[in-house]
Structure 1
Amino acid sequence: EMKAVIISLLVAFTIASTHPVNRDIVQQVLDAQTTWTPMDPETNLFAYMSVEQIKAMLGTKISPADSAAVDLEGLTDQDNFDSRQQWPSFIHNIMNQGQCGSCWAFGATEAMSDRLAIASKGSVNVVLSPQYLVSCDKNNMGCSGGWLDKAWNFMMTNGVPSQSCVSYRSGGGSSGTCPTKCDDGSPIVLYKCKNVQYAKNAGQIQSAIIKDGPVEAAFTVYQDFLSYKSGIYKHVSGGILGGHAIKAVGWGVDKGTKYWIMANSWGTSWGEQGFFKIAFGECGIEQNIVFADAVVPSVESE
Structure 2
Amino acid sequence: MKGGCCPGRDDLCTVPYLDTICYCDLFCNRTVSDCCPDFWSQCLGVEPPFIRNTCERNGNKFFTGQTYKENCNLCTCGPSGRWECEQNTCLIEPDVIHAINRGNYGWKAANYSQFYGMTLDEGIRYRLGTQRPSRTIMNMNEIQSENLPLYFNAAEKWPGKIHEPLDQGNCAASWAFSTAAVASDRISIQSMGHMTPQLSPQNLISCDTRNQGGCAGGRIDGAWWYLRRRGVVTEDCYPYQPPQQTPAEVGRCMMQSRSIGRGKRQATQRCPNTHNYHNDIYQSTPPYRLSSNEKEIMKEIMDNGPVQAIMEVHEDFFVYRSGIYKHTDVSFTKPAEYRKHGTHSVRITGWGEERHFDGTSKKYWIAANSWGKNWGENGFFRIARGDNECEIETFVIGVWGRITMEDMHNHHHHHRRRHT
Query: Which TM-score band (shorter chain)?
Result: 0.7 to 0.9
Partner of 1:155: 227
Three-state SS of the structure 1 residue aligned to 2:182 is helix
Q: Letter of the aligned partner of 1:284 in structure 2?
A: E
Matched, 1:214 2:303: no
Q: Which range moves more in the overlay, 180-189 or 104-113?
A: 180-189
Partner of 1:274: 379
| Root-mean-square deviation over aligned CA pairs | 2.1
Partner of 2:236: 164
Q: CA deviation at 1:268?
A: 1.0
Whether contact under 8 Å (1:143, 1:170) holds in the other structure is: no
> Unmatched 5+ residue regions in structure 1?
1-15, 64-72
Three-state SS of the structure 1 residue aligned to 2:236 is coil
Aligned length: 276
Partner of 2:368: 263
Whether contact under 8 Å (2:287, 2:399) holds in the other structure is: yes
4+ runs deviating over 6 angstroms: none
Q: CA deviation at 1:108?
A: 0.6
- Picking from 212, 218, 224, the partner of 1:146 is 218
Three-state SS of the structure 1 residue aligned to 2:391 is coil
> Unmatched 5+ residue regions in structure 2?
1-86, 134-143, 256-268, 332-338, 356-360, 415-420
Cα distance in 1 for partners of 2:286, 2:121 equals 37
Using the aligned pairs only, state the percent identity. Answer: 33
Partner of 1:5: none
Partner of 1:60: 130
Bigger Cα Rg:
2
Partner of 1:284: 391
Q: CA deviation at 1:151?
A: 1.3
Whether contact under 8 Å (1:58, 1:241) holds in the other structure is: no
Partner of 1:250: 350
Partner of 2:199: 128
Q: Which range moves more in the overlay, 288-297 or 142-151?
A: 288-297
Partner of 1:296: 403
Cα distance in 1 for partners of 2:147, 2:162 equals 22
Q: Letter of the aligned partner of 2:375 in structure 1?
A: W
Whether contact under 8 Å (2:91, 2:119) holds in the other structure is: no
Whether contact under 8 Å (1:223, 1:241) holds in the other structure is: yes
Partner of 2:326: 234
Three-state SS of the structure 2 residue aligned to 1:117 is helix
Q: Letter of the aligned partner of 1:100 in structure 2?
A: C
Partner of 1:7: none
Deviations 1:114-167 (A, max 9, x none): 110100001111110100110111232110111122211221121111112111
Cα distance in 2 for partners of 1:25, 1:60 equals 25
Q: Which range moves more in the overlay, 279-288 or 290-299?
A: 290-299
Cα distance in 2 for partners of 1:240, 1:203 equals 30
Q: CA deviation at 1:168?
A: 0.6
Three-state SS of the structure 2 residue aligned to 1:134 is helix
Whether contact under 8 Å (2:120, 2:315) holds in the other structure is: no
Partner of 1:50: 119
The TM-score, its normalising length taken from structure 1, stands at: 0.85
Deviations 1:62-105 (A, max 9, x none): 27xxxxxxxxx958532111001111110112211111011111
Matched, 1:192 2:292: no
Q: Letter of the aligned partner of 2:299 in structure 1?
A: S
Whether contact under 8 Å (2:185, 2:306) holds in the other structure is: yes
Q: Letter of the aligned partner of 2:285 in structure 1?
A: K
Higher helix share: 1
- The verdict on how the C-alpha distance between 1:101 and 1:254 changes in structure 2, with shifts beyond 3 A counting, is same
Cα distance in 2 for partners of 1:46, 1:195 equals 36
Q: Letter of the aligned partner of 1:132 in structure 2?
A: N
The TM-score, its normalising length taken from structure 2, stands at: 0.62
Partner of 2:250: 175
Q: Which range moves more in the overlay, 268-277 or 286-295?
A: 286-295
Q: CA deviation at 1:204?
A: 2.3
Whether contact under 8 Å (1:32, 1:236) holds in the other structure is: no
Cα distance in 2 for partners of 1:293, 1:178 equals 25
Cα distance in 2 for partners of 1:269, 1:209 equals 25
Q: Letter of the aligned partner of 1:57 in structure 2?
A: R
Q: CA deviation at 1:175?
A: 1.2
Whether contact under 8 Å (2:239, 2:273) holds in the other structure is: no
Cα distance in 2 for partners of 1:101, 1:262 equals 19
